[in-house]
Amino acid sequence: MDPMTLFGLGMGGSALGSILGGLGASSSASSANKAAADARNFAQTQYTQAQLLPALMAMGGGAPNFLRMILPADQANQLLGPGTADQESIRKQIADLDAQIAGWKDTSSTRNALAGLRGNGDYSRVATPQASKADLQAKRAALAAQLTQSSDTTKAMSEWGSSQDNPINALQSLAQSSDERGRGLLGSFDAGTSRLMQLIKGFGDQERKDIATQSARDLQGLNRQTGSELAARGMALSSMAPQLAAMNTRMMGERRDTAMGNLNDRISAMNVNTLGGRLNSRAGLQGALDDRSLQSQGNVANTRLQLLTGQTWNPWAGQNTTQYYPGLSSLGAFSSTIGNSMAGMGGTMGMLGALRSLTGRGTQA
């Protein structure tokens, strides 16, 4: 076989191989891009689903609205079903399908006069494209199922989020129960203070009676002694008797008032000390209960904050996402393979040309 023929066949084979290689490279690049996109979508779906429970726990019955507010519409619809705007569109589609189903007639075998319009008089039977009634009903059922899914999902999420099965609500209930017990303790403490002050209020009543009784007895005894002394001196009927009696009364009254004042001072000091001690104790109890209440409420708030700011809500943070975006070009891979092959073929042809030139010179010489 002629050498040039062999060379031509070799070059043709190389060209065909380069084309097939380019197609293979292009297909490989497309497959890699599709696999990366599928992996990215799968990861995003998993991340979105993982956000459901934290949102339910943190937001309770308001979780559906919260998720629709912060998630892209497609992700929110994937979790919750169609949103309000989509539901309205679906209802319009259902109404349109209902009208089509109600007025549906079988027109699949009607004659079509399109051929006769060409002037050849040939009226052919042409099947008119028409959706079957079963297809319309199936489409309507699928749309209605989307509405049901959205309603049922939202209802179930709201009920669970607001129930005591939600750990956040359980924490909140514990905090409220703690506050109620604290108020009960304060009420019991205040009732005890009232009873104690009531007891103290009656303190000294008997001592006052004793002071008054003893003062009257002392006055009576002093007057008797004064009268005896005056009688012994023969002055029982003198004008001094009333004066001495008045002086005795005044002196014993002062002594009685002093005793009463001392008693009142002791009672007042005891009241102040007792009430002051109780108030100080109440302030300590109130402070401890307030701290406990703040801690309980803080636990609820911090748990909500952690649920809404944790890694679940930032799943892509810190990740190397290049695996999801390989950046391969099908056309680029094809062109690169063809170009490399053509460059090799060009080099081969250049070498052949140079060889033939040298061969020709040798022959002429």
Q: Which of 64, 68, 87 is nearest to 76 (CA)?
A: 68
Residue 234 counted as domain residue: yes
Please indicate, yes or no, if residue 300 is contained in any of the structural domains: yes
Lowest mean pLDDT across 55-59, 291-295, 321-325: 321-325
pLDDT value of residue 353: 57
- DSSP state, 166? S
pLDDT tens string 75-100: 788 777 787 777 788 888 889 888 88
Least confident among 20-34, 230-244, 343-357? 343-357
Asked whether the beta carbons of 247 and 151 are under 8 A apart, the reply is no
Identity of the amino acid at 53: L
Domain membership of residue 67 (yes or no) is no
Q: What string of DSSP letters covers 308-331?
A: HHSGGG-TTTT--GGGG-----HH
Q: How far apart are CA 271 and CA 28, in angstroms?
A: 95
Local confidence band at 277 (pLDDT 50, 70, 90 cut-offs)? confident
- CA angle 7/10/13 to nearest 5° reads 150
pLDDT at 113 over 60: no
Establish if 238 belongs to a structural domain: yes
For residue 284, pLDDT beyond 70: yes
**What does the radius of gyration of the chain's CA atoms come to, in whole angstroms?**
54
Q: How buried is 13 (Cβ within 10 angstroms: 0-12 exposed, 13-18 middle, 19+ buried)?
A: exposed
Phi/psi at 83 (nearest 5 deg)? -80, -175
25: Cβ contacts below 8 Å, ≥ 6 apart: 333, 334, 336, 337
Tell me, what DSSP letter sits at residue 128? P
Distance between CA 346 and CA 343 in Å, rounded? 5
Residue 258 in this model has a pLDDT that exceeds 90: yes
Give me the half-sphere count of Cα atoms (radius 13 Å) on the Cβ side of residue 197. 16
Is 41 a domain residue? no
Q: How many CA atoms lie within 13 A of 227 on its CB side?
A: 10
- 8 A C-beta contact, residue 227 and residue 241: yes
Question: For residue 319, what are the CA distances in angstroms to 25, 139, 341?
Answer: 29, 41, 38
pLDDT classification of 257: cutoffs 50, 70, 90 = very high
Let me know: does 339 contact 15? Beta carbons within 8 Å: no
Q: Is residue 89 included in any domain, yes or no?
A: no
Query: How far from the centroid of its chain's Cα atoms is residue 111's Cα?
Result: 64
Q: Is residue 191 part of a domain?
A: yes
Give the pLDDT band of residue 350 (cuts 50, 70, 90). low
- Residue with the bigger pLDDT between 125 and 240: it is 240
Residue 206 is predicted with a pLDDT of 86
Q: Report DSSP state, residue 277.
A: H
Instruction: Return the higher-pLDDT residue of 281 and 203.
Output: 281
Residue 62 CA to residue 55 CA, distance in Å, equals 9
In whole angstroms, what is the distance from residue 245 CA to residue 141 CA? 117
Can you tell me which residue has the tokens 């979790």? 79
- State the SS3 of 231-242: HHCCCCCCCHHH
Domain extent, residue 257, equals 176-309
Q: Is residue 331 part of a domain?
A: no
Residue type for 182, please? G
User: Mean pLDDT across the chain, nearest whole number?
Assistant: 75
Q: How many domains does the chain have?
A: 1
